[in-house]
Structures are given as C-alpha cells and as structure tokens.
Amino acid sequence: GFKCGIVGLPNVGKSTLFNALTKTAAAQAANYPFCTIEPNTGEVAVPDPRLYQIAKIAGSKEIIPTRISFVDIAGLVRGASKGEGLGNQFLANIREVDAIVHVLRCFEDDDITHVEGRIDPVADAETVETELMLADLESLERRAVNVRKRAQAKDKESMTVLPMMEQAIALLNEGKPVRLLRKDIAHEDLAILEGLNLLTSHPVLYVCNVAEGDAATGNEHTRAVEAMAAAQGASTIIISAAIEAEVAQLSDDEAREFLAEMGLEEPGLDRLIRAGYDLLHLITYFTVGPKEARAWTVERGTKAPAAAGVIHTDFERGFIRANTIAFADFVALGGEQAAKEAGKARDEGKEYVVQDGDIMHFRFNT
Ligand code: GDP
C-alpha cells in the first residue's frame, strides 16, 4: 500500500494526530475486516462521496472505500542525521514512505515545551529539512564514489543512475531538497529518483497544527508556513490536532455538530487523508454491482491491465479488455444499463490509461 510518513520536531502534535487517525481507522475496522493496524502504522479509508453516489444508484449492499497508510515517524531532533536521538531508526523509517506529512507547531501553549524554546514553524521546518538534507548528502556522497568509478568503466546501470545522483548532490550542496527535481522529471526518470532511496525526494505536505480557536481561520504562523510552502510549490493544510482527537471519539452526528460549532464543515482528518492521497499522485477507480461498490487506488498514468492487477494478479495476467464508464456518465445517466444504452460504456484495451472516477469492469482469461 501507499504510505505517508508523519514527521516533525518533538511536541508538535504528531502523536495526537496519528492517534486520532488510528482511532478513526479502528472505528472503521469493524466494517472492514482486512484493515490491519500496526503500532506506528494506521490504515485509513479515503473519504470519497462519489463511492456513496454510485452505490446508491446501483443499490450495492456493501460499500468498501480504498485505503492509505499513515506512519508515525517519531525521533527527529536536531542532529538526527548524525545519529542523535532515535536518528538511525528514524532515517530507516522515513525511507520506507512514499510521501511526507510534516507537522508544524502553530499553537501557543506555555505548558507544552517547545524543543527550541519558541514558536516559529518556518524555522522548525528548516531545522527538520536540514537534518534530512544532511543525511541525504552524506549517503549520496558515500555511494557516488563507487557509482562514478563504475560509470567510467561503462557499467550500464551506473551510467543511468549517475546523472540523477549528481543533480541531487548539486541541489543538496545549494541547501535545497531533492524533491525539487520532481517538477521537470520525465515519468521514466522518476523511478530512478525513487530508486535512490532518499529522504528529501518525497513530496511533502505541511500540516499546521493550530489551537482550537484558530482551526477555521489560521493565524500568523500558518500564514508564514503558507508563504514558505508556496515558494516551494508544496501544499499546506490547517488542522487542530486537539479537535481531531475529540472528534475521533464522537459518533458521526455528534462530530458534525461539534465541528459546526467550531465553524468547520468536515473533520480535518478527511482533508488530511485526501491531501495525502493527492500528494501521492493517486487516483481512484470503482467497481460496482449489487453486492458491493468498491474504490481502488492506482497511481496516475496506470494502464488498464496493471489497474486490474490491483484487484487480483490473475486479472492482470489474463487481461482481455476493460469495459469503462466515466463517473459523470454513470451518475448523469443513472447507472450501468442506461450508460450502456447511451453508448457511454466503452471497451478499452491494454493501452488504456485509467482515469480518476472510472467505473471499470474487467474481462480476463483464467
Ligand atoms: P509529538 O511529540 O509531536 O508526537 O507531540 P504530541 O502529539 O505528543 O503532543 C505534545 C503535547 O502537545 C501533548 O501534550 C499534546 O496534548 C499537546 N498538543 C498537541 N496538539 C495540540 C494543540 O493543538 N493545542 C494544544 N494546546 N496542545 C496540543
């Protein structure tokens, strides 16, 4: 599955947020028996109103959302790249994730110690980023020595990897994170970048953790973070971990009422989960029938056979074709049969690139 790693300095609200996420996930677990929750990893359903719409139209008995994982990565302190604190464990954990959710303390509270003794989320972000960049630079420079030698000896693999390594090293030496390379990179080269297994190559989402009263409006700190993120082409969301912790304990109706009092339309966690999903460049397709309506996750750009493989490897191996209805057509026409009659159910082959919201029916040989 796809994983977002939650990072940030100590005492910024990571665990509070993570616990709220897993509490929500635990509440869902009763309905979705395949949900596994490890101590520092929580799988959560991706909130998607479209799934409920198509289930209603098709009269599906069961609704099964798609899921992504969040990992609580504790242990980042100044000096982590040098093995301070839980440094090494931290670095190992963060390498395994696909995207970074960076929690920044944007709330004042004299009772909660700030490790740096002041509230300055932009400076905190720089502290964390610096540790990650130092770790990347060290690891790249160590590996580059051999890769350069082998590339000179015309080793194919090394010749492919080296230019990306050198670009990454140059960026880091300028004090910039490797993720900046993602912008202008060809799709094939993204795999090379990801193969380097770096810390700062992951896309990042900044989460501004604010006091309850600032959840609807933000504050001067969140505005500073937004300006910083905009300059990096990163996104931000404003959340109050304290509110989320409370909401996670309430029933749906109670939660709605509580959120409305706070001037909020939906749980911040729903926004966080969706933002994490976008960050990972994931899209959703649906399968629907009288038994169940179900959402499935693939990376943007995935072709039909690989998308079918998410359901079962046999579907990919024996792929013949996919019958596809766009979500908008399915809803506008009122279901599969009507869409077929209107000529909106398309037969697509192996080269078809699955679109977000597609309703898919795969045909395959067993
Ligand atoms: P972590 O070290 O980043 O995982 O931080 P924790 O989630 O353990 O939070 C550290 C402390 O800050 C705990 O006592 C939390 O209750 C408190 N805290 C977290 N979020 C908020 C918040 O939004 N407002 C206030 N006032 N306290 C918070």
pLDDT tens sequence across 229-254: 998 889 999 999 999 999 988 888 99
- Amino acid at the residue 214: D
Task: Assess whether the C-beta atom of 14 lies below 6 angstroms from ligand 1.
Answer: yes
Q: Give the separation between CA 340 and CA 140, rounded to whole angstroms.
A: 54
Q: At residue 113, does pLDDT exceed 90?
A: no
pLDDT on residue 174: 96
Hey, which residues does 7 pair with through a beta bridge? 102
- In this prediction, the answer to ipTM > 0.90 reads yes
| Residues 6 or more apart in contact with residue 309 via CB below 8 angstroms | 315, 316, 317
pLDDT on residue 24: 66
Q: At what angle do helices 121-152 and 156-173 cross, to 10 degrees?
A: 150
Mean pLDDT of 188-213: 92
Instruction: Please check if 15 is assigned to a binding site.
Output: yes
Q: At residue 83, does pLDDT exceed 70?
A: no
pLDDT on residue 366: 79
Query: Which of 309, 287, 289 shows the shortest CA–CA distance to 298?
Result: 309
CA of 66 to the centre of ligand 1 (A): 29
Closest residue by Cα to atom 25, ligand 1, is: 211
Give the phi and the psi of residue 51 in degrees, each rounded to 5. -60, -40
| Residues 6 or more apart in contact with residue 141 via CB below 8 angstroms | 169
Closest residue by Cα to atom 19, ligand 1, is: 13
Helix, coil or strand: residue 79: coil
Q: Give the separation between CA 147 and CA 346, rounded to whole angstroms.
A: 48
pLDDT on residue 20: 86
Tell me the domains of the chain and their CATH numbers: 3-279 (3.40.50.300), 301-364 (3.10.20.30)
Higher pLDDT, 276 or 25: 276
Q: At residue 145, does pLDDT exceed 70?
A: yes
- Lowest mean pLDDT, pick from 29-43, 122-136, 304-318: 29-43
Hey, which residues does 71 pair with through a beta bridge? 5, 41
pLDDT band at 36 (very low <50, low <70, confident <90, very high): very low
Q: At residue 33, does pLDDT exceed 90?
A: no
Task: Assess whether the C-beta atom of 109 lies below 6 angstroms from ligand 1.
Answer: yes
Q: Give the separation between CA 211 and CA 106, rounded to whole angstroms.
A: 8
Q: At residue 297, does pLDDT exceed 50?
A: yes
**pTM metric for this prediction:** 0.86
pLDDT on residue 307: 96
Helix (H) or strand (E) holding 315: helix 313-317
Span between the terminal Cα atoms of the chain, in Å: 25
pLDDT on residue 74: 73
Task: Assess whether the C-beta atom of 161 lies below 6 angstroms from ligand 1.
Answer: no
pLDDT on residue 129: 92
Give the phi and the psi of residue 79 in degrees, each rounded to 5. 95, 5
pLDDT band at 215 (very low <50, low <70, confident <90, very high): very high
Task: Assess whether the C-beta atom of 241 lies below 6 angstroms from ligand 1.
Answer: yes
Task: Assess whether the C-beta atom of 105 lies below 6 angstroms from ligand 1.
Answer: no
Task: Assess whether the C-beta atom of 13 lies below 6 angstroms from ligand 1.
Answer: yes
pLDDT band at 212 (very low <50, low <70, confident <90, very high): very high
CA of 147 to the centre of ligand 1 (A): 44
CA of 20 to the centre of ligand 1 (A): 12
Instruction: Please check if 16 is assigned to a binding site.
Output: yes
Share of the chain above pLDDT 70, in %: 92
Mean pLDDT of 212-220: 94
Give the phi and the psi of residue 223 in degrees, each rounded to 5. -70, -35
Q: Six-digit token pair at 42?
A: 């929580």
pLDDT on residue 34: 39
pLDDT on residue 76: 67
pLDDT on residue 52: 95
Task: Assess whether the C-beta atom of 228 lies below 6 angstroms from ligand 1.
Answer: no
Task: Assess whether the C-beta atom of 280 lies below 6 angstroms from ligand 1.
Answer: no
CA of 354 to the centre of ligand 1 (A): 41
Instruction: Please check if 13 is assigned to a binding site.
Output: yes
Q: Six-digit token pair at 147?
A: 């890769």
Q: At residue 141, does pLDDT exceed 90?
A: yes
Q: At residue 35, does pLDDT exceed 50?
A: no
pLDDT on residue 64: 94
Q: At residue 322, does pLDDT exceed 90?
A: yes
pLDDT band at 39 (very low <50, low <70, confident <90, very high): low
pLDDT band at 32 (very low <50, low <70, confident <90, very high): very low
- What integer best gives the mean pLDDT of the chain? 89
Higher pLDDT, 64 or 38: 64
